Amino acid sequence: MVVDLRAQQARWALTADAESRLRASVPAGWTVRMVDAATSADGDGSKPPSGEALAAVRDAEAYFGFGMARPLYDAAPRLKWLHSAAAGVGSLMFPEMRASGVIITNSAGVHAVPIAEQALAGILALLRGLDVAGALQRERRWSREPFLAPESPMREVGGLKALIIGAGGLGGALAERLAALGVECTGSRRRVERGVPKGFRAVVGPDGWRAHLPSSDILALCAPSTQATHGMIGATELAALPRHAIVANVARGALLDEHALVAAIRGGHLRGAVLDVFSQEPLPAESALWELPNVILTPHVSGVTDRFWEREMELFLHNWHAYDRGTAMRNVVDKSEGY
């Protein structure tokens, strides 16, 4: 087992406690090679690997990192299992990996709680006009008029309707929190036969969610980036939302047409947006999104939490022992679907 988790980003770097827990739980017959060279937690394996990692994987059966860069895959002829500490696996879906027998497990759901809380915080901020209050505060201006005017941003969350695209771990975590505040949540998922998760009133398939747009006060994107979801929310879908709806994208930037979003907000059709992911990252300085006061924008950090390694090690160690015993693993990626 090669462990390549010395992330340059301090919040994502393997902690001493997590490393101790890993070393204490090694299945019989396994050896662990810890890569000490720095790696990147960004890009689910799209960043160049270290020379130390390249040397370490040459006889590795399993690899635990933030995705797996293509050169690492090419250097690991004995690889049978890859566990990624990232949720996305887009960079891993090259033809040779898809065709191989390598099992991929990811960390989808590990980040669900903090990302759901981030989306909820942004939604509530817009519903209570905190963006307006923030602008007034920066101007040192006391004015109640924007809040008392006919176009007041102030709304109660209870009784609203939300459409959540992606009813997996992240979408489910957001639905539970919104439902607890009185929001009626409808979810969309590819496999409706899996039932209706907690927090949702109903779940529809890929062909059914558009019918719910006209009645959705909140549209939240929580689905993985695949060929089927790329660009799924454009001008037509945004126009179908009711006036002053809120759009939240905490999944992947590729799901949303940002130019159409800017046009809808500038035209007064949408109340605003909560965005943590973008079609191009870092977001270019010339992007119009920076200029919109009713867009709550964060630099792809909604998954940051002080409890990441607690959850990540529970998942990884379960899967390691399951792999060793030949029993069912969690978060196995369907390479034909890309997530």
Residue 230 designated active-site: no
Number of other residues whose CB lies within 10 A of the CB of residue 129: 19
Cα separations (Å) of 96 from 22, 56, 76, 184, 335? 30, 21, 13, 43, 11
Rounded to 10 degrees, the C-alpha dihedral 266/152/253/330 comes to -170
Catalytic-role residue among 83, 212, 252, 271: 252
Q: Which residues of 142-168 are buried (b: 16+ CB within 10 A; e: fewer)?
A: eeeeeeeeeeebebebeebbbbbbbbb
Answer yes or no: are the C-beta atoms of 245 and 213 closer than 8 Å.
no
Cα–Cα distance between 207 and 140 in angstroms, integer?
49
| Helix (H) or strand (E) segment spanning residue 258 | helix 258-266
DSSP letters spanning 276-304 = S--SSSSPPTT-GGGG-TTEEE-SS-TT-
Catalytic-role residue among 21, 155, 269, 300: 300
Residue 58 designated active-site: no
Which residues are catalytic, by number? Answer: 252, 300
